[in-house]
Structure 1
Amino acid sequence: MASVYHGSDAHLATVLAHEVGHIVARHHAEKETRSTWVYFIHDMLNRFVTIDFAQRVLPLVPLLPFNRRLEMEADYIGLLLMAAAGYDPRCAPIIYDEFDKYEELKESRNKFKLGGFLSSHPPGRKRAQALDRPRIMEEALVLYNNVKAKRGDES
């Protein structure tokens, strides 16, 4: 199932740039602010609902779409960062698509399926499609080509 990018510098650059994208966007601070409100509402509801399910799941549910949005934002920032660092951004959608295939394989082995409802990350295919949109990829390719031109790369 491994592609030419698996284990390559481009693969590592995609993953690292995504994580740096979270830092650049200050997602940790954003999550903390949101969590404070979610837990406040959770505590208020807990005064009336004492079901264990509510105590364990309720705090997570409002954060999931928010987390998925942050992941997509980190993907975009990461794409631009990797391109600006001289890594071909066209490999990122391929790598995210591979993540999706890995997740499908993992989920097929799991007997308890919720169709990704409780996943904090969007499906790899959706992430790949978002990064591969012409406007986004063109923006990344401009950065990448500028870096190549400054280095004098012909390839």
Structure 2
Amino acid sequence: MDICGYGPGPIAAEAAFTSDFALPGDLRVRQIADLVEADRPAMDARPGMRHKYLPWRFDPVAGAPQVGGRYLFDTWSNALGYEWFTAEDLEFEPGVKFWDRPFFHGVARHVWHVIGAHDFTALASTHHVNRFERWAYQARDEEVALRRAWPLIREAAEEAGLSSAWLMVRPV
């Protein structure tokens, strides 16, 4: 399967948008899938969107599904545009902005600068599991340090057999 012609290699992305939130514990997997599928057409066709992942996990401590999104964009402007669109324009229920939906709990969303992004395998064949880690890192020139580290991180990710790796920094 060819997904937008994207093959393995460096990903041309300057920015990313991520979101994480909980859903009520009584929602069944089928209900979550139906919500995602109903929302998808309006959320997928956005300028400059390069990758879209929808992470899902069940938090046994909170007893609730944890969901969100991972999106790569070609430009910073397009990532900011997506953040604006989802916060200020998008409504699936009249008068209720997307992030204000009453069944979204603890929403965390961020726009990031992409230091580096690389697909080691084709999207359609192996991109099924997502691991996302946020770290607080303070240095005088953290972006410079991360740009220096990216080749080593990319190499380690490839040696570990990962399908894709992204390194991002969020302006404070």
TM-score, structure 2 as length reference: 0.27
Which one has a larger percent strand, Structure 1 or Structure 2? 2
- Higher Cα Rg, which structure: 1
